Amino acid sequence: MTDFVLDPKLRADTLEVTALPLCQVRLMNDRRFPWVVLVPARPDVSEILDLSVADRGLLIEEIALVSIVVRELFHPTKLNVGALGNVVAQLHVHVVGRFASDDAWPGPVWGTTTEPYRHDEIERRLAPLRYRLSASA
């Protein structure tokens, strides 16, 4: 078995938040949305069905945890949860807080131009996520 390695595109497009028992939790570097990406830290996994039964159960619980935190911190109109993998094959799950007033509403957030966080905004966005996820894990 090979060791887990984060896909270079995911590494480039996201900021490290924390690690949960199964997933690396990362923040998409797009200030327009509270957009968290969970990446199961398992090598050679591209589909949910590639995970063990136990890891599939853990994944859904970690998706639920991140969804709760995003909802409580940002109060979105809607939570979007998806595992697409059309650009990055490595299994990763998006949890995106959506607002009726956001730039992409009601369409999807992916495939649009991103607006990266300014340097002074990064820690303000990461700190509450890290705190809430570490307190809940």
Please write down the long-range contacts of 56-59, taking CB distance under 8 Å and 24 or more positions apart: 58/21, 58/22, 59/22, 59/23, 59/93
Does the residue 2 lie in any domain?
Answer: no
Does the residue 3 lie in any domain?
Answer: no
At 64-113, the pLDDT tens digits run 999 999 999 999 999 999 999 888 999 999 999 999 999 899 999 987 78
Residue 2 pLDDT: 63
Find the domain containing 118 and state its range.
8-136
Does the residue 25 lie in any domain?
Answer: yes
1: pLDDT strictly greater than 90: no
Give the CATH number for residue 51: 3.30.428.10
In this prediction the pTM is 0.94
At 122-132, the pLDDT tens digits run 999 999 999 99
- Higher-pLDDT residue of 26 and 134 is 26
